[in-house]
Amino acid sequence: MESFKVKKVLNNNVLIATHPRYEETVLIGKGIGFNRKKDEIISQESAEKMFVLKNEKEQEQYIKLIPSIDNKTLEVIISAIEMIRNRTDSPLNEHIHVALTDHIAFAINRIRQGLAVKNPFVAETKILYPREYEIAREVVDYINEATDVYLPEGEVGFIALHIHSAVTDKQLSELSRHSHLISQLISTVEHEFKITLDKDSTNYMRLVRHLQYTIDRVLTGEKMNEPEKLNYFLQQEYPRCYNLSWKLIKIMQQTLKKPVYDAEAVYLTMHLQRIQAKME
């Protein structure tokens, strides 16, 4: 069985090791660096209980990050990521170590300085990624218990996006951009109908999910069948909803820089009509 050889201990929880296949790696785990000596051998078995950073760029970023985080906070973050790995039961993109460590450390610092950052996409994130949101809620509860800070609800949303990104290998920036786009589309609907949608209502959940599926279809270029008779009927019966659906499609086209098929207007009109009917 292949093993790791300790090259340099960075602190109690992080060390640099060499490995016959991955060459230089960063091993992360609670207490992994404690009392370790240079050239000491770490078995592959015990390494599996830790995180192995193989990507050179990720290693560099992680090593730069460590000195700015106190040991206690770093231990809490490592345990939080361990919790995520156990709950998701799927391999995580190793970028989560850099991105989430940076995010949580920064969030804890800000809260200690009395500066909380608002998350405008909490409701959308909760609907789109319910499983990740549930895990993120556990992570935030754990951090709040283990440290002297209280991370607010918004942080559950931010961490849920990090988890989704690590599980699906999607770029976090892309996920944030989609959340922002959905939020913008919802605001347009509210403005047009002069209402505030109830974030806990079934109609709101359906609309958010539908918009996400539409975005996914646009990005993959998947075409839906266009029911022409229905198209004509909706245009005549519900002109306000039909026009609004086209307004939303134009916003999507501009943001995603991809064409949106006409059939999407039909399905969107039906969702909007359901919301309008509720208002009356």
Would 48 be classed as within a structural domain?
A: yes
Would 15 be classed as within a structural domain?
A: yes
Q: For the domain that residue 188 is a member of, what is the CATH number? A: 1.10.1790.10
**pLDDT tens figures, 218-231:** 998 888 777 778 88
Calpha distance 88→68 (Å, rounded): 28
**pLDDT tens figures, 266-276:** 989 999 998 99
**pLDDT tens figures, 114-124:** 887 788 889 99
Task: Kindly report which listed range (71-85, 133-147, 218-232) carries the lowest average pLDDT score.
Answer: 218-232
- The pLDDT assigned to 115 comes to 83
Instruction: Look at residues 55, 79, 101 and tell me which one is the last residue of a structural domain.
Output: 55
Would 37 be classed as within a structural domain?
A: yes
Would 176 be classed as within a structural domain?
A: no
**pLDDT tens figures, 204-216:** 988 999 999 999 9
Would 60 be classed as within a structural domain?
A: no
Which positions ≥6 away from 117 have C-beta within 8 Å?
107, 110, 154
Instruction: Look at strands 23-28 and 14-19 and give their pairing.
Output: antiparallel
**pLDDT tens figures, 165-210:** 999 988 888 899 999 999 999 999 999 999 999 988 888 988 999 9
Would 232 be classed as within a structural domain?
A: yes
- Residue 244's domain comprises 181-279
∠ at Cα 239 (235, 240), nearest 5°? 145
Same domain for 81 and 155 = yes
Instruction: Look at residues 148, 170, 192 and tell me which one is the last residue of a structural domain.
Output: 170
- The pLDDT assigned to 45 comes to 77
Instruction: Look at residues 146, 170, 194 and tell me which one is the last residue of a structural domain.
Output: 170
Calpha distance 92→166 (Å, rounded): 5
Same domain for 154 and 109 = yes
- The pLDDT assigned to 121 comes to 87
Between 41 and 89, the more confident residue is 41
Question: Per-residue confidence at 90, pLDDT binned at 50, 70, 90?
Answer: confident
Would 224 be classed as within a structural domain?
A: yes
Burial environment of residue 256 by CB neighbours within 10 A (0 to 12, 13 to 18, 19 or more): middle
Q: What is the mean pLDDT of the chain?
A: 91
Same domain for 191 and 141 = no
Indicate if the pLDDT at residue 48 is higher than 90. Answer: no
How many domains does the structure of the chain reveal?
A: 3
- The pLDDT assigned to 87 comes to 95
Whether residue 271 contacts residue 207, with contact meaning beta carbons closer than 8 Å, is answered with yes
Indicate if the pLDDT at residue 44 is higher than 80. Answer: no
* Nearest by Cα to 166 from 77, 76, 81, 74: 81
